[in-house]
Every structure is written in C-alpha cells, then in structure tokens.
Amino acid sequence: MTLHRARKRFGQNFLHDQRIIAGIVAAIHPLPKDHLVEIGPGMGAITQPLLDSGTRLDVVELDRDLIPILQQKLGSSARLKIHQQDALKFDFCSLAEAGEPLRVVGNLPYNISTPLIFHLLDQAHCIRDMHFMLQKEVVDRLAAAPGCADYGRLGIMVQSRCEVEQLFTVPPGSFNPAPKVDSAIVRLTPWDKPPVAIADQAQFAKVVAQAFTQRRKTLRNNLKGLIDAAALEALGIDPGRRPETLSLAEFAAIANRLV
C-alpha cells in the first residue's frame, strides 16, 4: 500500500482505531438501498466498511494524492464514485436522484468544519441525515442549549434546520497523527417540520449573527439599527438580556418581526 503523510494544510488526521470505526459505521447503519456521500475519506478507514454494506457511495476528496491510494484500496465497484473536488464548493444535491435523499458522512477537517456545515445546510432539502466527526468543542456548540457558555450562532443556526444528537467522544489516540483535542461524533437530521417557523432564512441568519457580535453586550446594543427596544418589548423580550439567553423561538420571533 502506498504511504501517505498527513498534510497539515488539509487538516488531515487519519482514523485507525477499529473499535471507533465500527462504532461510527454502527451509528450510520448503512443499508443497500441508501445513497451515501463521504466527505474526506482520507485513507478509506470508514469508506471500506460503508462500501461493504452494499450501499451506493460517492466520496469527495480534495487531496489528489489520496485518489490512487483509495482506488488501490477499494478496488473497482459500480457502487463507488470518487470525486477529486473541494467539498466547500461541491454541489451535493447534484448526486441525489428524485425522491432519494442523500446520507452524508465525514471526518471533517477542523479548519473547515463550520463553513462546510453551513454549505450543507443550504442543501439540506436533498439530505436525509449527516454523521460527522468533529472537534468535540464544535459538537458541544452544535448541541448547546440557551444559557450555556457554548450556546451561540453555530448551534442556533444548525438547530433551526436539524435535530442535533451527540453520539460519542473519540480520543486523540484514535488518529494518526493524533490531534491535540478530543473529537466527537454527531448526527444532524434535517427537520421534516422545523421546531419554529422562520419566514426568511436570510433575515434569521442576519439577526442571529448581529446578536452575537459582542456576547457580553445586551440585545439593545447588539441589535441597534436592526430592531429597537420598544419592538423587542412588544415581542415580550427584555432588551437588556444577553443573546445567549434567548431561545430559538425568540430569535425566530425577532427575525419574523423584521420581514
């Protein structure tokens, strides 16, 4: 097997712990009828057992030097297609056939995990679920509830579009090279019926982003120029509150008031 040195610029940490790999595949529970897309397959640690399940599988890998390694390891299969492309620019919905939502999986590089999740949220209409390995700190932010230190823009935006389930933690020793932080597996399932009604996603995103420009400041300060104190009070929201205390429903109410 061709050797490949992990590249820092691609944020590569290759998973090798067979117990963790088995746990991830069990959590995904791939079936032959599924159409999976793996982001950043690396050396194919998860790719092989996914393919062994009988599923159709597309993989998206940026590092062109890994492509021949994957081809050598995985062999030729009519159920496998490898795309040497940047996942941040990839049109995932182009892979989905009518009435066939995609199941997306991946060990996401820490340096692009947040923008990649937002890129996928924009294509959530063609995605059934997503299973990701992320820095544990990011998973904590995704799942955080109002009032928690980890609660902020990322969690609010994702929770408005998906159910978030923290599955299990992955220690640094499960990778080569070992990262300096713990990782975790998270499942994101786009809502069939969102928990709150949002009239305009762009307006909602603007409100949430502006509310968290300075965490220590109040809504009165952070939302100045967008909505005034009287309008917040009319919604039953104290303008003296800090953004991390607001629920998803309260952010939606502010955004909907501005549409």
- For the chain, list the domains and their CATH numbers: 8-190 (3.40.50.150), 201-257 (1.10.8.100)
pLDDT tens per residue, range 79-88: 999 999 999 9
Beta strand pairing status for 35-39 and 56-60?
parallel
Reply yes or no on whether the pLDDT at 209 is more than 90: yes
Beta strand pairing status for 175-176 and 102-107?
unpaired
Which pLDDT score is estimated for 9? 44
Whole-model pTM: value is: 0.91
User: Between vectors from CA 39 to CA 35 and to CA 43, what angle results, nearest 5°?
Assistant: 110
* Separation CA 122–CA 116 (nearest Å): 10
Cis peptide before 190 (omega within 30 of 0): no
Cis peptide before 195 (omega within 30 of 0): no
Percent of the chain with pLDDT over 70: 95
Three state DSSP letters for 162-180: EEEEEEEEECHHHEECCCC
Distance of CA 190 to the CA centre of its chain: 11
pLDDT tens per residue, range 124-137: 999 999 999 999 99
| Tokens, residue 108 | 């996401």
Distance of CA 145 to the CA centre of its chain: 17
Residue among 83, 103, 92, 91 nearest 34 (CA): 103
Q: How confident is the model at residue 176 (pLDDT cuts 50, 70, 90)?
A: confident
Tell me if 185 sits within 8 A of 27, measured CB to CB.
yes
Tell me if 169 sits within 8 A of 182, measured CB to CB.
yes
Which pLDDT score is estimated for 12? 53
Which pLDDT score is estimated for 75? 81
Tell me if 28 sits within 8 A of 86, measured CB to CB.
no
Task: Work out whether the CA dihedral 75, 80, 84, 86 comes out positive or negative.
Answer: negative
